[in-house]
Amino acid sequence: MKLRPLHDALRIAVSRSNIHELAAFANQLAGVGKPGTVLPSAALAAAETFGAPEMPQSAQPSTASEETDPGRRLRSIAETGRLFFERVLDSLPAESRAAIDAATPLRLASEVAPHRATAPEPNYADAAEKLLDAAAHLPLLAQGYSADWPARSRPVLPGSTRASRREHVWAPVLAYIVLRSIPARCCPRGDRTELFDRLRLRPALADLFAAMGMEGEAKWQAAAQVRVLLSHLAGQPDAARSRAFFADPDVRWLAGVNVSSGVTYFNKEQFEELLTWLQLPALLEIAAEPSAQIAGIAAIEASVAAAREAAQAAGYELDAYLAAAAPKPAKVFAASLP
């Protein structure tokens, strides 16, 4: 399978220019940016950097007003992701593509067939733009946190501090959005992690992150974070308390699972970084629904606090930590004899 065009399209979608534009918009929403800053077109800058194929007209701003319109800028980023999505479709076996088209035609354009009675699945760019808009609100959302719950060892999600708004924090977030916007029906058995592995996206992302200054294991950790968050298990309630979740080699590596004197432990700092990262999908959902933000943040903070307290109570022994979260068997009482 020739994956070079697909990996090149991924580099355009998760380009430094796109990251800068997303971060600049987020800073302005949080009141820490400079209003009126005009950044270069994400699509055109990426094309110049990577020698990309011609960008679609929808990704190219035509007027100065479009350059300063946040909606247009987010749409431009989403459109560069659509190029990657099209390469993904090209990589699918002919029989898989035929089955997908027969079930529900893939919508690469914005038009909706007027005869459809039910709401259609959003096309790729629409889905990506919605997630991008929610992500841009993360630093503003962080101003409403009432507890000091994000990982302290290193910034993992864009937040209210300067360190959490840097390029290497935004890069995995944008990569997740680009990949999460792919409809599940385009993935083998609906599993985005299987598609991730089949298309060899781990080394492609690691190379991307290395170009943004991540060195050594950091680039591989960021790629593993993206893959973990695409899994079905990561989306389950209290995933960080699940034995099945901790069976994933990437999860064990990110959490610093190790064996000492026959006992399996996990690392406190690494676990809290993973726990923080796992909140990204819920935070994006909350950011998109202003009316639910107070209750949503409170629920996240309570869940994170419970997991941290359970880990500490278990002495960071993995089996003890997971056993504490396992449902207790119901007591069975014999019926009273007359």
In a domain, 116, yes or no: no
> What does each C-alpha distance from 185 to 98, 127, 281 come to in angstroms?
12, 14, 19
The CA-atom distances, in angstroms, between 238 and each of 143, 146, 169, 209, 326 are 24, 20, 24, 29, 11
Q: Which residues are 258's β-sheet partners? A: 265
Residue with tokens 């035929």: 98
- Whether residue 114 lies inside any domain: the answer is no
Q: Which tens digit of pLDDT belongs to each residue from 3-23?
A: 999 999 999 999 999 999 999
Q: What is the 3-state secondary structure (H, E, C) of 226-273?
A: HHHHCCCHHHCCCHHHCCCHHHCHHHHHHCCCEEECCEEECCHHHHHH
- Dihedral of CA 154/308/254/277: which sign? negative
Is 219 within the bounds of a domain? yes
Task: Identify the pLDDT of residue 122.
Answer: 67
Q: What pLDDT, on the 0 to 100 scale, is given for residue 59?
A: 43
Q: Which residue, among 269, 265, 268, 270, has the nearest Cα to 318 in the 3D structure?
A: 265
Asked if residues 41 and 76 have their Cβ atoms less than 8 Å apart, the reply is yes
> For residue 28, what are the domain limits?
4-106+122-325
Q: Are 159 and 138 within 8 A, CB to CB?
A: yes
For residues 158 and 48, the answer to whether their CB atoms sit within 8 Å is no
Whether the CB-CB separation of 90 and 100 falls below 8 Å is answered with: no
Q: Is 334 domain-assigned?
A: no
**Contact call for residues 18 and 40 (beta carbons, < 8 A):** no
Q: Does residue 257 lie within any of the structural domains? A: yes
pLDDT above 70 covers a percentage of the chain that reads 77
Question: Contacts for 321-326 with beta carbons within 8 Å, 24 or more apart?
Answer: 321/241, 321/266, 322/241, 322/242, 322/243, 322/246, 325/238, 325/241, 325/242, 326/243
Q: Which residue has the tokens 């918009």?
A: 25
What pLDDT, on the 0 to 100 scale, is given for residue 70? 66
Contact between residue 152 and residue 90 where contact means Cβ atoms under 8 Å apart? no
pLDDT at 241: 93
Any domain includes 80: yes
Burial label, 3 (beta-carbon count in 10 A; 0-12, 13-18, 19+): middle
- pLDDT beneath 70, residues of the chain: 1, 33-70, 95-122, 327-338
d(CA 155, CA 297): 18
Q: Say how many domains are in the chain.
A: 1
Measured CA to CA in angstroms, residue 335 lies from 86, 328, 332 at distances of 63, 21, 9
Under 8 Å CB-to-CB from 217, ≥6 apart: which residues? Answer: none
What is residue 205's predicted lDDT score, i.e. its pLDDT?
98
What's the DSSP call for residue 317?
B
* Contact in structure between 15 and 83 (CB atoms under 8 Å): no
What token pair was written down for 15? 């380009």
pLDDT at 2: 84
Q: Is residue 336 part of a domain?
A: no
Predicted TM-score (pTM) of the model is 0.83
Q: Would 115 be classed as within a structural domain?
A: no
- Tell me the pLDDT tens digit for each residue of 179-212: 999 998 888 888 999 999 999 999 999 999 999 9
DSSP state of 291: G
